[in-house]
Amino acid sequence: MVLTFPNARAEVLRRIPVAQPAIKHVSLESAAGRVLAETIHADRDYPPFPRATRDGFAVRSSDVAAVPATLEIIGEVKAGSEFAGTVGAGQCVSIMTGAPVPLGADAVVMVEYTESLQSRATIRRGVAAGENVVPRGSESAAGSAVVQAGYRIGFPEIAMLASVGRAAAPVFRCPRVAIIPTGDEIVELDRAPSSCQIRNSNSYSLRAQVARAGGEPWALPIAPDEITRLREIIEQGLTADLLLLSGGVSMGKFDLVEQVLSSLGAEIFFDGVEIQPGRPLVFGRCKNTWFFGLPGNPLSTMVCFELFARPAIAQLSGAAAQPLLFPRVRLSKPVRVKPGLTRFLPAVLGGEGDDPTVELSGWQGSGDVSALVRSNCFVVVPPDCPEMNVGEWIGVLPLER
Protein backbone atom coordinates (compact mmCIF):
# COMPACT_ATOMS: atom_id res chain seq x y z
CA MET A 1 0.00 0.00 0.00
CA VAL A 2 1.38 3.38 -1.04
CA LEU A 3 0.40 6.35 1.14
CA THR A 4 0.71 10.10 0.86
CA PHE A 5 3.38 11.71 3.00
CA PRO A 6 1.00 13.05 5.69
CA ASN A 7 -0.85 9.74 5.92
CA ALA A 8 2.35 7.70 6.12
CA ARG A 9 3.78 9.82 8.93
CA ALA A 10 0.45 9.69 10.78
CA GLU A 11 0.42 5.89 10.39
CA VAL A 12 3.88 5.58 12.00
CA LEU A 13 2.88 7.76 14.96
CA ARG A 14 -0.44 5.96 15.35
CA ARG A 15 1.10 2.50 15.31
CA ILE A 16 4.08 3.13 17.62
CA PRO A 17 2.88 4.16 21.10
CA VAL A 18 4.91 6.34 23.45
CA ALA A 19 6.85 3.70 25.38
CA GLN A 20 7.72 3.45 29.09
CA PRO A 21 11.23 1.96 28.99
CA ALA A 22 13.28 0.97 32.01
CA ILE A 23 14.59 3.84 34.14
CA LYS A 24 18.18 4.52 35.13
CA HIS A 25 19.94 7.45 36.79
CA VAL A 26 22.75 9.20 34.94
CA SER A 27 24.99 12.09 35.93
CA LEU A 28 23.95 15.52 34.80
CA GLU A 29 27.00 15.60 32.54
CA SER A 30 25.66 12.52 30.73
CA ALA A 31 21.99 13.51 30.60
CA ALA A 32 21.94 15.60 27.40
CA GLY A 33 19.75 13.99 24.74
CA ARG A 34 18.15 11.51 27.14
CA VAL A 35 14.43 11.45 27.94
CA LEU A 36 13.50 12.42 31.49
CA ALA A 37 11.65 9.58 33.21
CA GLU A 38 10.25 11.42 36.24
CA THR A 39 8.82 14.90 36.70
CA ILE A 40 11.23 17.18 38.58
CA HIS A 41 9.92 19.61 41.21
CA ALA A 42 11.34 22.83 42.61
CA ASP A 43 13.09 22.37 45.95
CA ARG A 44 12.31 25.99 46.95
CA ASP A 45 10.83 29.16 45.49
CA TYR A 46 12.55 30.53 42.39
CA PRO A 47 13.75 33.13 42.74
CA PRO A 48 14.05 32.51 46.50
CA PHE A 49 13.82 36.27 47.14
CA PRO A 50 12.58 39.37 45.28
CA ARG A 51 15.42 39.82 42.78
CA ALA A 52 16.65 43.10 41.31
CA THR A 53 16.93 43.06 37.52
CA ARG A 54 18.90 46.30 37.25
CA ASP A 55 21.73 48.15 38.98
CA GLY A 56 20.34 51.16 40.79
CA PHE A 57 18.51 52.00 44.01
CA ALA A 58 15.89 49.95 45.85
CA VAL A 59 13.12 52.39 46.82
CA ARG A 60 9.56 52.65 48.04
CA SER A 61 7.63 53.55 44.89
CA SER A 62 5.47 55.97 46.86
CA ASP A 63 8.59 58.01 47.71
CA VAL A 64 9.29 58.69 44.02
CA ALA A 65 5.75 59.33 42.85
CA ALA A 66 6.84 62.93 42.35
CA VAL A 67 10.32 63.55 40.92
CA PRO A 68 12.93 64.72 41.36
CA ALA A 69 13.06 63.19 44.83
CA THR A 70 16.05 63.08 47.16
CA LEU A 71 16.42 59.99 49.36
CA GLU A 72 18.82 58.93 52.07
CA ILE A 73 21.16 56.07 51.07
CA ILE A 74 21.21 53.71 54.05
CA GLY A 75 23.29 50.88 52.61
CA GLU A 76 24.35 48.76 49.68
CA VAL A 77 23.54 45.19 48.62
CA LYS A 78 25.14 43.08 45.90
CA ALA A 79 24.32 39.67 44.43
CA GLY A 80 25.09 36.94 46.95
CA SER A 81 24.48 39.11 50.00
CA GLU A 82 21.47 40.71 51.68
CA PHE A 83 20.66 43.97 53.43
CA ALA A 84 19.88 43.44 57.10
CA GLY A 85 17.66 46.45 57.66
CA THR A 86 14.37 47.80 56.33
CA VAL A 87 13.89 50.64 53.85
CA GLY A 88 11.75 53.31 55.48
CA ALA A 89 10.10 56.46 54.20
CA GLY A 90 12.58 58.71 52.40
CA GLN A 91 15.26 56.04 52.30
CA CYS A 92 16.88 53.86 49.61
CA VAL A 93 19.55 51.20 49.22
CA SER A 94 22.13 50.97 46.47
CA ILE A 95 21.53 47.61 44.75
CA MET A 96 23.19 45.47 42.09
CA THR A 97 21.57 43.22 39.48
CA GLY A 98 20.64 39.85 40.99
CA ALA A 99 20.65 41.04 44.60
CA PRO A 100 17.71 40.57 47.00
CA VAL A 101 15.47 43.64 47.24
CA PRO A 102 15.50 44.80 50.90
CA LEU A 103 12.42 44.71 53.11
CA GLY A 104 10.35 47.85 52.78
CA ALA A 105 11.41 48.54 49.17
CA ASP A 106 9.06 47.54 46.36
CA ALA A 107 10.88 48.74 43.22
CA VAL A 108 14.30 49.50 41.75
CA VAL A 109 15.20 52.74 39.97
CA MET A 110 17.85 52.21 37.29
CA VAL A 111 21.12 53.92 38.11
CA GLU A 112 21.05 55.99 34.91
CA TYR A 113 18.01 57.87 36.24
CA THR A 114 19.76 58.86 39.47
CA GLU A 115 22.51 61.02 40.84
CA SER A 116 24.23 60.29 44.12
CA LEU A 117 26.45 62.35 46.37
CA GLN A 118 27.77 60.92 49.63
CA SER A 119 24.68 59.59 51.50
CA ARG A 120 22.01 61.17 49.28
CA ALA A 121 20.49 59.98 45.99
CA THR A 122 18.44 62.17 43.68
CA ILE A 123 15.84 60.16 41.75
CA ARG A 124 14.86 61.75 38.43
CA ARG A 125 12.38 59.13 37.20
CA GLY A 126 9.56 57.50 39.09
CA VAL A 127 8.84 53.75 39.17
CA ALA A 128 5.74 51.69 39.78
CA ALA A 129 5.59 49.05 42.51
CA GLY A 130 7.32 45.90 41.27
CA GLU A 131 9.28 47.64 38.52
CA ASN A 132 12.72 46.07 37.85
CA VAL A 133 11.99 43.38 40.46
CA VAL A 134 11.30 39.67 39.90
CA PRO A 135 8.94 38.60 42.72
CA ARG A 136 9.85 35.67 44.94
CA GLY A 137 8.48 32.38 43.54
CA SER A 138 7.31 33.98 40.29
CA GLU A 139 9.45 31.65 38.14
CA SER A 140 8.67 28.47 40.09
CA ALA A 141 7.01 27.98 43.44
CA ALA A 142 8.43 25.42 45.88
CA GLY A 143 7.07 21.97 45.00
CA SER A 144 5.90 22.95 41.52
CA ALA A 145 6.87 20.91 38.44
CA VAL A 146 9.82 22.49 36.66
CA VAL A 147 10.55 19.79 34.05
CA GLN A 148 7.92 17.26 33.04
CA ALA A 149 8.59 13.56 32.49
CA GLY A 150 8.86 12.76 28.80
CA TYR A 151 10.96 15.84 27.94
CA ARG A 152 14.15 15.27 26.01
CA ILE A 153 16.92 16.88 28.05
CA GLY A 154 18.71 19.76 26.40
CA PHE A 155 20.80 22.57 27.82
CA PRO A 156 17.77 24.46 29.28
CA GLU A 157 16.65 21.33 31.13
CA ILE A 158 20.19 20.70 32.38
CA ALA A 159 20.31 24.26 33.70
CA MET A 160 17.00 23.72 35.50
CA LEU A 161 18.07 20.38 36.97
CA ALA A 162 21.26 21.97 38.24
CA SER A 163 19.29 24.91 39.65
CA VAL A 164 17.15 22.61 41.80
CA GLY A 165 20.17 20.66 43.02
CA ARG A 166 19.90 17.52 40.90
CA ALA A 167 23.37 16.09 40.25
CA ALA A 168 21.79 13.06 38.53
CA ALA A 169 18.74 12.66 36.35
CA PRO A 170 16.26 9.76 36.09
CA VAL A 171 16.08 8.88 32.39
CA PHE A 172 14.54 6.19 30.20
CA ARG A 173 16.69 3.53 28.60
CA CYS A 174 17.63 4.42 25.03
CA PRO A 175 15.96 2.18 22.43
CA ARG A 176 18.38 -0.13 20.66
CA VAL A 177 18.26 0.40 16.91
CA ALA A 178 19.67 -2.29 14.63
CA ILE A 179 21.10 -1.12 11.29
CA ILE A 180 21.46 -3.53 8.38
CA PRO A 181 22.83 -2.42 5.00
CA THR A 182 21.86 -4.82 2.22
CA GLY A 183 23.13 -5.63 -1.26
CA ASP A 184 26.03 -7.35 -3.00
CA GLU A 185 27.12 -3.98 -4.35
CA ILE A 186 28.05 -2.77 -0.83
CA VAL A 187 31.54 -3.32 0.61
CA GLU A 188 33.01 -2.33 3.97
CA LEU A 189 35.46 0.52 4.30
CA ASP A 190 38.48 -1.73 4.73
CA ARG A 191 37.93 -3.29 1.29
CA ALA A 192 38.66 -1.76 -2.07
CA PRO A 193 35.41 -1.62 -4.09
CA SER A 194 35.37 -3.03 -7.59
CA SER A 195 34.25 -0.92 -10.52
CA CYS A 196 30.62 -1.92 -9.86
CA GLN A 197 30.61 -1.64 -6.07
CA ILE A 198 30.20 1.19 -3.55
CA ARG A 199 31.35 1.64 0.03
CA ASN A 200 29.00 1.15 2.97
CA SER A 201 28.16 4.79 3.75
CA ASN A 202 24.54 4.29 4.85
CA SER A 203 25.43 2.29 7.92
CA TYR A 204 27.70 5.07 9.16
CA SER A 205 25.32 7.94 8.42
CA LEU A 206 22.47 6.03 10.05
CA ARG A 207 24.55 5.42 13.18
CA ALA A 208 25.06 9.16 13.47
CA GLN A 209 21.38 9.90 12.87
CA VAL A 210 20.25 7.27 15.38
CA ALA A 211 22.59 8.59 18.07
CA ARG A 212 21.42 12.18 17.48
CA ALA A 213 17.80 11.03 17.69
CA GLY A 214 18.36 9.47 21.11
CA GLY A 215 18.75 5.82 20.11
CA GLU A 216 21.55 3.33 20.68
CA PRO A 217 22.87 2.34 17.22
CA TRP A 218 23.75 -1.32 16.66
CA ALA A 219 25.49 -1.88 13.32
CA LEU A 220 25.09 -5.39 11.90
CA PRO A 221 27.02 -6.92 8.97
CA ILE A 222 26.18 -6.18 5.35
CA ALA A 223 23.42 -8.55 4.30
CA PRO A 224 24.00 -10.08 0.85
CA ASP A 225 21.40 -10.64 -1.87
CA GLU A 226 20.99 -14.24 -0.77
CA ILE A 227 17.94 -15.33 1.18
CA THR A 228 19.51 -17.61 3.82
CA ARG A 229 22.17 -15.17 5.05
CA LEU A 230 19.82 -12.19 4.69
CA ARG A 231 17.29 -13.99 6.87
CA GLU A 232 19.94 -14.78 9.53
CA ILE A 233 21.00 -11.15 9.81
CA ILE A 234 17.42 -9.84 9.82
CA GLU A 235 16.48 -12.29 12.61
CA GLN A 236 19.40 -10.94 14.62
CA GLY A 237 18.22 -7.38 14.02
CA LEU A 238 14.70 -8.26 15.14
CA THR A 239 15.97 -8.61 18.71
CA ALA A 240 16.36 -4.80 18.85
CA ASP A 241 13.63 -2.26 19.62
CA LEU A 242 13.73 -0.93 16.06
CA LEU A 243 15.24 -2.35 12.89
CA LEU A 244 16.46 -0.17 10.01
CA LEU A 245 17.21 -1.96 6.76
CA SER A 246 18.92 -0.01 4.01
CA GLY A 247 18.30 -1.14 0.44
CA GLY A 248 16.59 -4.15 -1.07
CA VAL A 249 13.04 -2.73 -0.83
CA SER A 250 12.42 -1.81 -4.47
CA MET A 251 10.88 -4.03 -7.15
CA GLY A 252 14.08 -5.51 -8.61
CA LYS A 253 14.78 -9.22 -9.00
CA PHE A 254 17.29 -9.17 -6.15
CA ASP A 255 15.35 -6.87 -3.81
CA LEU A 256 14.63 -9.62 -1.28
CA VAL A 257 13.99 -7.78 1.99
CA GLU A 258 10.18 -7.81 1.86
CA GLN A 259 10.20 -11.46 0.80
CA VAL A 260 12.31 -12.45 3.82
CA LEU A 261 10.28 -10.32 6.22
CA SER A 262 7.06 -11.89 4.96
CA SER A 263 8.51 -15.37 5.54
CA LEU A 264 9.18 -14.32 9.15
CA GLY A 265 5.56 -13.34 9.66
CA ALA A 266 5.96 -9.60 9.27
CA GLU A 267 2.94 -7.33 9.12
CA ILE A 268 3.58 -4.54 6.62
CA PHE A 269 1.56 -1.35 7.12
CA PHE A 270 2.72 0.39 3.97
CA ASP A 271 5.34 -0.27 1.31
CA GLY A 272 5.57 3.05 -0.42
CA VAL A 273 5.18 6.77 0.23
CA GLU A 274 4.45 9.46 -2.35
CA ILE A 275 7.69 11.38 -1.71
CA GLN A 276 10.97 12.06 -3.46
CA PRO A 277 13.50 10.87 -2.51
CA GLY A 278 12.33 7.80 -0.61
CA ARG A 279 9.25 6.50 -2.41
CA PRO A 280 9.87 2.74 -1.80
CA LEU A 281 9.86 3.08 2.01
CA VAL A 282 8.49 0.08 3.94
CA PHE A 283 7.10 0.20 7.49
CA GLY A 284 5.93 -2.74 9.52
CA ARG A 285 6.31 -4.99 12.55
CA CYS A 286 7.81 -8.45 12.93
CA LYS A 287 8.26 -10.52 16.10
CA ASN A 288 7.29 -7.51 18.24
CA THR A 289 9.95 -5.31 16.62
CA TRP A 290 9.11 -2.28 14.49
CA PHE A 291 11.08 -1.97 11.27
CA PHE A 292 11.67 0.37 8.37
CA GLY A 293 12.89 -0.81 5.00
CA LEU A 294 14.73 2.31 3.84
CA PRO A 295 15.62 2.87 0.19
CA GLY A 296 19.31 2.24 -0.46
CA ASN A 297 20.29 5.50 -2.12
CA PRO A 298 21.97 7.67 0.53
CA LEU A 299 19.74 10.75 0.24
CA SER A 300 16.63 8.57 0.31
CA THR A 301 17.95 6.82 3.42
CA MET A 302 18.71 10.09 5.22
CA VAL A 303 15.44 11.80 4.28
CA CYS A 304 13.29 8.81 5.26
CA PHE A 305 15.10 8.57 8.57
CA GLU A 306 14.40 12.20 9.45
CA LEU A 307 10.75 12.04 8.39
CA PHE A 308 9.80 8.63 9.79
CA ALA A 309 12.47 6.85 11.85
CA ARG A 310 13.33 9.88 14.01
CA PRO A 311 9.77 10.25 15.39
CA ALA A 312 9.61 6.47 15.86
CA ILE A 313 12.77 6.58 18.00
CA ALA A 314 11.30 9.46 20.00
CA GLN A 315 8.20 7.46 20.83
CA LEU A 316 10.24 4.37 21.70
CA SER A 317 12.37 6.58 23.98
CA GLY A 318 9.37 7.65 26.04
CA ALA A 319 9.01 11.08 24.43
CA ALA A 320 6.14 12.07 22.15
CA ALA A 321 7.40 12.89 18.66
CA GLN A 322 7.74 16.60 17.99
CA PRO A 323 5.56 18.22 15.32
CA LEU A 324 7.25 18.43 11.94
CA LEU A 325 7.51 22.12 11.08
CA PHE A 326 8.42 23.61 7.71
CA PRO A 327 9.35 27.30 8.17
CA ARG A 328 8.62 29.30 5.02
CA VAL A 329 11.24 31.34 3.19
CA ARG A 330 11.44 33.04 -0.20
CA LEU A 331 12.85 31.30 -3.27
CA SER A 332 15.86 32.99 -4.83
CA LYS A 333 15.67 30.74 -7.91
CA PRO A 334 12.65 29.01 -9.50
CA VAL A 335 11.73 25.38 -8.85
CA ARG A 336 10.32 23.12 -11.57
CA VAL A 337 9.30 19.52 -10.78
CA LYS A 338 6.70 17.00 -11.88
CA PRO A 339 3.47 17.05 -9.84
CA GLY A 340 2.19 14.22 -7.66
CA LEU A 341 4.92 13.73 -5.03
CA THR A 342 5.93 15.69 -1.94
CA ARG A 343 9.56 16.46 -2.65
CA PHE A 344 12.39 17.06 -0.18
CA LEU A 345 15.17 18.52 -2.27
CA PRO A 346 18.65 19.50 -1.00
CA ALA A 347 18.95 23.26 -0.79
CA VAL A 348 20.95 26.13 0.64
CA LEU A 349 19.29 28.53 3.06
CA GLY A 350 20.84 31.98 2.89
CA GLY A 351 20.00 35.63 3.22
CA GLU A 352 20.36 37.70 6.33
CA GLY A 353 18.33 38.42 9.45
CA ASP A 354 14.59 38.51 8.82
CA ASP A 355 14.90 38.11 5.02
CA PRO A 356 16.00 34.49 4.43
CA THR A 357 16.11 32.99 0.95
CA VAL A 358 16.62 29.47 -0.36
CA GLU A 359 17.74 27.81 -3.57
CA LEU A 360 18.22 24.20 -4.68
CA SER A 361 21.71 22.71 -4.46
CA GLY A 362 21.74 21.25 -7.93
CA TRP A 363 21.61 17.58 -6.99
CA GLN A 364 22.05 14.70 -9.43
CA GLY A 365 19.57 12.31 -7.84
CA SER A 366 19.15 10.42 -4.57
CA GLY A 367 22.67 8.97 -4.70
CA ASP A 368 24.32 12.40 -4.72
CA VAL A 369 25.78 12.71 -1.22
CA SER A 370 27.94 15.65 -2.27
CA ALA A 371 24.80 17.73 -2.87
CA LEU A 372 23.73 17.12 0.72
CA VAL A 373 27.18 18.07 2.01
CA ARG A 374 26.73 21.44 0.24
CA SER A 375 23.22 21.88 1.69
CA ASN A 376 21.83 23.08 5.01
CA CYS A 377 18.16 22.27 4.44
CA PHE A 378 15.61 20.53 2.24
CA VAL A 379 13.13 22.52 0.20
CA VAL A 380 9.68 20.98 0.67
CA VAL A 381 7.73 21.08 -2.59
CA PRO A 382 4.02 20.17 -2.21
CA PRO A 383 2.63 17.59 -4.64
CA ASP A 384 0.34 20.14 -6.30
CA CYS A 385 2.95 22.88 -6.84
CA PRO A 386 5.16 21.77 -9.74
CA GLU A 387 6.21 25.34 -10.61
CA MET A 388 7.31 27.92 -8.08
CA ASN A 389 8.88 31.23 -9.03
CA VAL A 390 11.48 33.57 -7.57
CA GLY A 391 10.10 35.42 -4.55
CA GLU A 392 7.42 32.83 -3.73
CA TRP A 393 7.32 31.41 -0.21
CA ILE A 394 8.22 27.75 0.23
CA GLY A 395 8.64 25.45 3.23
CA VAL A 396 12.05 24.17 4.29
CA LEU A 397 13.17 21.33 6.54
CA PRO A 398 16.42 22.42 8.27
CA LEU A 399 19.26 19.94 8.01
CA GLU A 400 20.69 19.44 11.50
CA ARG A 401 24.31 18.40 11.76
pLDDT mean for each 10 residues of the chain (401 residues):
96 96 96 96 97 98 98 97 97 98 98 96 98 98 97 96 97 98 84 80 94 96 91 97 86 68 93 94 95 92 96 97 94 94 95 89 86 94 94 93 75
* pLDDT at site 250: 58
Q: Has domain 51-134 been given CATH number 2.40.50.180?
A: no
pLDDT of residue 252: 45
Query: What is the model's pLDDT at position 249?
Result: 66
Cross-strand bridge partners of residue 93: 58
Q: What is the topology classification, in CATH, of domain 2-20+174-316?
A: Molybdenum Cofactor Biosythetic Enzyme; Chain A (3.40.980)
Collapse the DSSP code of 398 into the 3-class scheme (helix H, G, I; strand E, B; otherwise coil) and give the result: strand
Q: Which residues of 128-146 are buried (b: 16+ CB within 10 A; e: fewer)?
A: eeebbbbebbebbeeeeeb
pLDDT at 296: 87
d(CA 50, CA 44): 13
DSSP 8-state code for residue 101: P
Q: What's the CATH architecture for 328-398?
A: Beta Barrel (2.40)
Which of 126, 160, 185, 175 has the alpha carbon at shortest distance from 40? Answer: 160
User: pTM surpassing 0.85?
Assistant: yes
What is the fold, at CATH topology level, of the domain defined by 23-46+139-172? Molybdopterin biosynthesis moea protein, domain 2 (3.90.105)
Q: CB within 8 A of 29, min separation 6: which ones? A: none
Q: In 3-state terms, what secondary structure has residue 245?
A: strand
The residues spanned by each domain of the chain are: 2-20+174-316, 23-46+139-172, 51-134, 328-398
pLDDT at 201: 87
Q: In what order do the strands lie in the sheet with 267-270?
A: 216-219, 176-181, 242-246, 289-294, 282-286, 267-270
User: In terms of DSSP H, where are the helices of 171-256?
Assistant: 201-213, 227-237
Which among 154, 174, 150, 146 has a CA at the least distance from the CA of 33?
154
> Can you give the pLDDT at residue 396?
96
